[in-house]
Every structure is written in C-alpha cells, then in structure tokens.
Amino acid sequence: MSGSVLIAGLGPGSEALVTPEVRDALAQATDVVGYIPYVARVAERPGLTLHASDNRVEIDRSRHALEMASEGKRVVVVSSGDPGVFAMAAAVFEAVEAGPDHWRNLDIRVLPGITAMLAAAARAGAPLGHDFCAINLSDNLKPWGLIEKRLRLAAEADFAMAFYNPRSKSRPEGFEKTLDILKDACGDDRPVIFARAVSTPEEEIKVVPLSRCTPEMADMRTMVIVGSSTTRIIPRDGAPIIYTPRSVAP
C-alpha cells in the first residue's frame, strides 16, 4: 500500500467550515496526527488511530507522520484554521528537508482550510479588503525584537494587520507592548477587532478604538485585526460593519 501525508486544516472551529476535501481525507485516513485539542475534533472509527501530542513537539509530530507514511499508512496531520498559516505544513516540510531522502518522494499534500483571520474578518465585514499583513505575536520561535520591528514597519506601511497568538498566560506582556507600539506608530484612532472563538458557541466580537484597547481584551483564542488609516465603520442597529476600501486615493 502506498503511504501518504495530507496536511489538513480543520477551520476555525465550526464543523460547517471544514472543507469537503478535508472531510474526505479524514474518512480515508488510517492515522491522524496533531495537537491534542485538534485531534479531539476528529471522530473515532474502526481502522483509524488517533495520535494526539503536546503543542511544542511539532517536528517530532511531523517525523512520526512521515515515518508512518513510509510504512504505507495514509496519514492526516491536522491543524486548526489553515495548515499553511502559522501551523503544521511548514513543520512537516522542515522535517522533510532535514530527514532521509526517501521522505521527499512521499505523497505529501497540503489541504487548505479557513483560517481564523479570514473567519474573523468575515464576521466583522471586510477589514482586510485592501493590503494587509499577518503577524504571529508569539516569541516562542522568534525574538521579540523582530516582532517589534515588523509591527513598526507594518504600521509605517499603513497595512491592516491581523495578529495570531496575541496574549498567552505565560507571556502577557507581549500584547501590552504591541498596543504601546501601535498607539505610538499609527497616529490615529483606527478600529481594532477582537474576535474570540470565532464560529464556536463561545464566539464574541468586539470593535474598540485603538486608544481604548487594553491587553486583557485578548487571549490565545482571540484573533485581533487592526484596521489601516482608510478602514471605515458603517454604524447600524447592532454590530457595525467594518471594511477597508479596495482603493486608496493618490
């Protein structure tokens, strides 16, 4: 039997947002590998083995998946959102590059998913309607100095910004520093969207002016989207519509 590794995105939380392609891959898998809460989203069935592991063993998890595929198993590596956005696709390819040559000839494919950034933007309107950037605020795998440099340059370039992993319990000071940098660099009171647990029963969306943002408004289940200087707010009954126009005046 020919083995394979499919790296799949489970979407932001709702089963309705899992793509048909990913559902089909899971239905045909012999083994599913991933972080504990993501593997828990996969239903058990005869013929399927679930391999759940901690969040900080991405390379070990990738090697395990590649080894099983080399033995002829049909392996699905699961991530939340999209596996190519701060997730497992890059980890698997790191393992492939550093591993034995025969891993490079395995059937390895990435199956896209709806990432939290896009789900959060859709809930608010279209805040990413023009140029934007995504920044992972976790300094687990890169120095804080690089994060700060990218924040300042993104603000200077007037991008809308989407922040992943804004505020962990172990390092809450990072998001406080982020807000200080933005308030200093942006020069205006642009809207900030705090989208927590999007597409789940715990979903909560808040729109707050940058000047009134505080660190405790975000946690690791929150996607934070900061508008550009051109981002607009359309007031209406209930939640406003937030969008960034598709054009910029010369």
Q: What is the pLDDT of residue 73?
A: 97
Q: What is the pLDDT of residue 187?
A: 80
Count CB-CB contacts under 10 A for residue 213: 21
Domain 4-114 homologous superfamily, CATH: Tetrapyrrole methylase, N-terminal domain (3.40.1010.10)
Cα–chain center distance at 65: 21
CA distance 42 to 101: 31
Q: What is the pLDDT of residue 2?
A: 78
CA distance 181 to 150: 11
CA distance 57 to 130: 36
User: For the purposes of burial, counting CB atoms within 10 Å of the CB of 193, is it exposed (0-12), middle (13-18) or buried (19 or more)?
Assistant: buried
Q: What is the pLDDT of residue 1?
A: 59
How much is the mean pLDDT over the chain? Answer: 95
Does 8 have pLDDT greater than 70? Answer: yes
> Model confidence over 10-57: pLDDT tens digits?
999 999 999 999 999 999 999 999 999 999 999 999 999 999 998 889
Residues 6+ apart with CB under 8 A from 92: 5, 7, 62, 65, 66, 77, 108
CA distance 32 to 192: 37
> Model confidence over 171-202: pLDDT tens digits?
888 999 999 999 999 987 999 999 999 999 99
* 117-243 CATH fold: 3.30.950
pLDDT band for 82, please (50, 70, 90 cuts).
very high
CA distance 88 to 77: 7
Cα–chain center distance at 99: 26
Does 170 have pLDDT greater than 80? Answer: no
CA distance 152 to 146: 10
What is the full DSSP assignment across 100-137?
-GGGGGSEEEEE----HHHHHHHHHEETTSSSEEEEE-
**What are the residue boundaries of the structural domains of the chain, listed by start?**
4-114, 117-243
Global pTM value: 0.93
